[in-house]
Amino acid sequence: MNKVIHTPLILASQSQSRAKILSQIGLVFQSIPSGIDEDILKKQGQQEGWPIETIAMELARAKAQQVSDQYNDALVIGADQIMSCDGLAFDKALSLEEAKEQLRFISGKPHFLHTACVLFYAGQEVWSNLSTPILNVRLLTEEFIDDYVIHLRDDALRSVGCYQIEGRGAQLFDCIDGDIFTIMGLPVFPLLQELRQRRVVLS
């Protein structure tokens, strides 16, 4: 019998983009930020020479672990995403001038979005996924970059790479290899497959 098990679902994040995705696909959940200091964990990973995708996964785990320890009866989603280009990892731009610098750097190049997602239950990891879309940025003129940042203003600082793929950011690319949900920060299809197997959603 295909009966749903009513396990509470928590997103261990304050990400508006991830929350919007979960709401749009029909999941009922709470958003509870973990409060971990991501900069400390990133710095540790850099000092110890972790690959960029490992840093993303450890950040996702740390978020989910912290929330799961407080909510033992819930299934907790932890996610993180790090962009890399030419072997360098990027954080969100802190200013509009820094946003322009990021756009100049990725112009005419492919970059990678290392997107990690985990599920924790009762303080234990029960599932994980790492997906890495590849996005090919076309050659951007200085005129385009200036106009783009003027139009986006603070929205250019909301996400790494200075774009929202579902909006004006689509103009940056020649082509992409990966699904839009993962690019937006959450690998929806493998996550839903796992939730169906756990009977959290109908199969």
Which residue among the candidates 69, 80, 146, 147 is catalytic per the annotation?
A: 80
Residue type, 44: Q
Asked about 80 being catalytic, the answer comes back as yes
Active site residues per annotation: 80
